[in-house]
A and B are shown apart, each in its own frame.
Chain A
Amino acid sequence: MRNILIVGANSAIAAACARRWAEQPATFFLVARDTGKLEQVAADLRVRGAAVYAYGLDCNRFEDHAAMLDACQQALGSIDIALIAHGTLPDQKACEQDVALALREFSSNGLSVIALLTLLANRMEVQRQGCIAVISSVAGDRGRPSNYLYGTAKAAVSTFCEGLRARMFKVGVHVLTIKPGFVATPMTAGLPLPGPLVATPEKVAGDIVAAVERKKNTLYTPWFWALIMMIIRSVPTAIFKKANL
């Protein structure tokens, strides 16, 4: 029986991961802002045989993080897997015109993850086992004009995870940074994504579940994004700044 904490459990990728984990006996502590939707996700997992606790939290209310983690500890005891999956897809153009909006989106995708990981890491450090899996993005590998606010937040998350991984390695806790490419989810619905590069949440979830088992450090999913991002990272700035990516 594994104990699994998922923050942002309503996200399509997180829900798909949960279904995969629910194929084995598991207890979930699911956290999301919209509790109505969370109940629908929880009911689905219960039918699949899992024990599920559902908890409502707005991750931008940093002061509520500790209470959530207390409740999680109370429910699960120890945590075998923590998946941090919450986030938004900001409207870059709007963020360029509205500082408050830009900072709020940065908080949703960056600061709130850092705040949460700080508290979570200290608790995982005590139990000296388990895996923290964090959904970052390929968008954090390079700042692109079309979504650099999102990219900045994800870059912060990726770098934070890299440092945290090295710290937690010494106490037996693994940290996995997940960098999905384009995924067909409600978050990306209606975006003009290039068809052949778009993966399903189920495909990405399969990769994540396998990467947790294998204690991978950084996961590009689907795999070809590792190649694409290697090329994109190597484009000289003199050329990159002229492109409209």
Chain B
Amino acid sequence: MAATLDSWGRYPGFAQTAHPVYWRDQLADSFADLVQAHGSGLAYGNGRSYGDSCLASSDHVLHMRGLDRFISVDWEAGVLVAEAGVTLDEVLQLAIPHGWFLPVTPGTKYVTLGGAVANDVHGKNHHVRGTFGRHVRRFALLRSDGSYPICSLTENAELFAATVGGLGMTGVIAWVELALMPIKSSRIDTTTQRFGSLAEFFTLSAELDAAHEYTVSWVDCLASGSSAGRGVFIAGDHATFGELEPDRRPKLTVPLTPPISAINRLSLWLFNHSYYLAHPAQRTRQKVNYEPYFYPLDRILHWNRIYGPRGFQQYQCVIPTVAAQPAMQALLQAIAVSGHGSFLAVLKCCGDIASPGLMSFPLPGVSLALDFPQHAELDATLFPRLDAIVREAGGRLYPAKDAHMTGDDFRRFYPRWEQVEALRDPALCSRFWQRVTRI
């Protein structure tokens, strides 16, 4: 019996049978074997997608994490070639001592390079550097017809565009060539300031986004009345001097899944309230390590277990700038009214740098992400209400986080999905793709 895998939110609960891959030259055979035995499959990296985009419709996945080797590097130019199962953490451990950093990093370093391409992930510097896909120079894509095209902006450009943010539908990414970003220090100079309302957030964002590489805000989604929309704005830049040291702090772990979710009204209120109060009211500068700055939750391995056996869903949307403020207000109000709070609600202004991918999530505007313990009411009442606000405002939802989006919404949010579908490898299909394209 092979090991089974699930998604980060552990909802929906379709256990995936893992077919591990350990060597590049065996990838084609492993893929062919899986297709032969189970009809179709999906490449699965490190299981950090929240919903069902990393679950195969056949429930059989190629487990790519074993492809974790570096292939070549040019420290002069800052260009790294690595197998698709290498995690961003492994890239940082290697690159930081040489004075290089990821040009774009999401909120966890435990995603694989293949997953970062397939979801065209973004980070706190989206307004400066766009998505991950912009920094991918080339990759090799294995297709079930036996072809193994190398894709870039100029070579097999159509496949490149369909694969960046293509949710793994166009082929299995074998290796990735990534352009790194030079840094002087692995420390981050931060500027932190509380804000009392959404209006203040927008003012701060307008002022600080232009001046800083990284910006992100936490918002208290439980606050209502006069404190509605309060939060903490955190800007950051790579320090111009200091050490170049990868993080090696010991990790904590949630060793097992509690029988019920530890996230409830009381713990949420306590967390949100104290998080707000723990941050300075006045603008404060500090030098911190990159790890707590970018990856606060990575400190605790298996943190997703605190949500209990039912798991959780993340809701992440982005709203175009013109409609952002009223829509964010409406979203936060709907959430506060529902009483389902989130432990970390994250606000971020995305910039207008276009992605090379056809189905990239960010658009110029404001993105909001929240985690909710799984509950029947989410899908029945709260999410449809939020979806309506997002739709109305011309925004969209993030497939990498999604377990609920309707097919209608998906096709409206990502009108170029048909181009991806046209290039889809018939031997690859996720539960997400099946759900939203109604195959």
Contact of B73 among A36, A40, A47, A190 (CB under 8 A): A47
Given known A40-B69, A43-B72, contact A192–B1 (CB-CB < 8 A): yes
Within the complex, which residue of B2, B69, B80, B82 is in contact with A41, where a contact is CB–CB below 8 Å? B69
Chain B residues, Cβ within 8 Å of A48: 70, 94
Chain B residues within 8 Å of chain A by Cβ, number: 16
Given contacts A47-B94, A192-B1, is CB(A186)–CB(B22) below 8 Å?
Answer: yes
Nearest B residue to A189, CB-CB = B20
Q: Is A104 among interface residues, defined by CB-CB distance under 8 A? A: no
Give Cα A190–Cα B2 distance, bound, in whole angstroms.
6
Q: Is the CB of A43 within 8 A of B1?
A: no
CB distance from A111 to the nearest CB of B (A): 27
Which residues of chain A are near B20, meaning CB under 8 Å? 186, 189
Chain A 37-52: CB-based contact to B (< 8 A → 1; otherwise 0): 1001101101110000
User: CB < 8 Å: which of B2, B25, B66, B71 contacts A44?
Assistant: B71
Task: Write out, one digit per residue, whether chain A residues 184-206 have a CB within 8 A of any chain B CB (1) or not (0).
Answer: 00100110100000000000000
B15-48 Cβ-contact flags toward A at 8 Å (1 or 0): 0000010111100000000000000000000000
User: Which A residue sits closest to B70, measured CB to CB?
Assistant: A47
Bound-complex Cα distance A236 to B362 (A): 67
A192 cross-chain contacts in B, Cβ below 8 A: 1
| Distance A43 CA – B66 CA, assembled complex (angstroms) | 16
Q: Tell me the B69-110 residues at the A interface (CB within 8 Å).
A: 69-73, 80, 82, 94
Q: How far is the CB of A197 from chain B (nearest CB, A)?
A: 14
A interface, size bucket: 10 to 19
In the complex, what distance in Å separates the CA atom of A12 from the CA atom of B23? Answer: 11
In the complex formed, the residue of A with least CB distance to B18 is A189
- Given the complex, which residues of A lie within 8 Å of B1, measured CB to CB? 192
The CA-CA distance from A189 to B66 in the complex, in Å, is 12
Q: Does the CB pair A37–B25 fall under 8 Å? A: yes
How far, in whole Å, are A97 and B368 apart by their CA atoms in the complex?
64
**Known contacts A190-B2, A192-B1, A37 near B72 by CB under 8 Å:** no
Q: How many Å from the CB of A206 to the closest CB on chain B?
A: 13
Output the nearest chain B residue to A186 by Cβ-Cβ distance.
Answer: B22
A192 to B20, CA, bound (A): 15
**In the complex, which residues of chain B have a beta carbon less than 8 angstroms from the beta carbon of A12?**
22
Given A190-B2, A192-B1: A44 and B69 interface contact (C-beta under 8 Å): yes
Residues in A with CB closer than 8 Å to B71 are 40, 43-44, 47
- On chain B, the residues within 8 Å of A43 by CB distance are 69-72
Q: Are A40 and B94 in contact (CB under 8 A)?
A: no
Rounded to whole angstroms, the CA-CA distance of A186 and B94 in the bound complex is 25
| Residues of chain A contacted by B25 (CB below 8 angstroms) | 36-37, 40
Q: Which residues of B contact A186 (CB under 8 A)?
A: 20, 22, 66
Q: Closest approach, in angstroms, between the C-beta of A41 and any C-beta of chain B?
A: 7
Complex CA–CA separation, A221 to B201 (angstroms): 53
Q: Which residues of the other chain, A, contact B72 by a CB distance below 8 angstroms? A: 43, 46-47
Most buried by B among A12, A37, A41, A192: A37
**Which residues of A from 11 to 37 have beta carbons under 8 Å from B?**
12, 36-37
Residues of A contacting B69 with CB < 8 Å? 40-41, 43-44
Which B residue's beta carbon lies closest to that of A44? B69
A-contact bits for B223-251, CB 8 A (1 contact / 0 none): 00000000000000000000000000000
The distance in angstroms between the C-alpha atoms of A12 and B20, with both chains bound, is 13
Chain B residue contacts of A40, Cβ below 8 A? 23-25, 69, 71
A186 vs B69: C-alpha distance when bound (angstroms) = 15
Task: Looking at the assembled complex, report how far the CB atom of A106 sits from the nearest CB atom of chain B, in whole angstroms.
Answer: 26
Contacts known (A190-B2, A192-B1); A44 close to B70, Cβ less than 8 A: yes
Please indicate the chain A residues that have their CB under 8 angstroms from the CB of B24 in the complex: 40
Cβ-closest chain A residue relative to B71:
A43
Please measure, in the bound complex, the distance between the C-alpha atom of A190 and the C-alpha atom of B3, giving whole angstroms. 8
The minimal Cβ–Cβ distance linking B10 to chain A, given in whole angstroms, is: 17
Q: How far, in angstroms, from A12 to B66 measured CA to CA in the complex?
A: 10
Give chain A nearest CB distance to B304 CB in angstroms.
19
Complex Cα distance, B70 from A41, in Å, reads 9
Separation of A120 and B199 alpha carbons in the complex (Å):
74
CA distance A41 to B24 in the complex (A): 11
Interface centre among B2, B22, B82, B94 (most CB of A within 10 A): B22
Interface 1/0s, chain A 155-199, versus B by CB < 8 A?
000000000000000000000000000000010011010000000
- CA–CA, A222 and B70, complex, Å: 27
Docked Cα-Cα span, A40 to B66, in Å, equals: 13
- Please give, as numbers and ranges, the residues of chain A lying within 8 Å of B80 by CB-CB distance: 47
- Bound complex: CA of A40 vs CA of B21, how far in Å? 14
Residues of B within 8 A of A41 (CB): 69
| Residue ID in chain A nearest B1 by CB atoms | A192
Q: How far is the CA of A37 from the CA of B25 in the complex (A)?
A: 8
Bound Cα distance from A37 to B22, whole angstroms: 10
A-B contact pairs, 24 of them (CB 8 A): A12-B22, A36-B25, A37-B23, A40-B23, A40-B24, A40-B69, A40-B71, A41-B69, A43-B69, A43-B71, A43-B72, A44-B69, A44-B70, A44-B71, A46-B72, A47-B70, A47-B73, A47-B80, A48-B70, A48-B94, A186-B20, A189-B20, A190-B2, A192-B1
Known pairs A44-B71, A190-B2; list 8 more (Cβ under 8 Å).
A37-B23, A40-B23, A40-B25, A40-B71, A41-B69, A44-B69, A44-B70, A189-B20
Lowest 9 CB-CB distances: which A-B pairs, in order?
Answer: A47-B70, A44-B69, A47-B73, A186-B22, A44-B70, A43-B71, A37-B23, A40-B69, A189-B20
Which residues in A have some Cβ–Cβ distance to B below 8 Å?
Answer: 12, 36-37, 40-41, 43-44, 46-48, 186, 189-190, 192
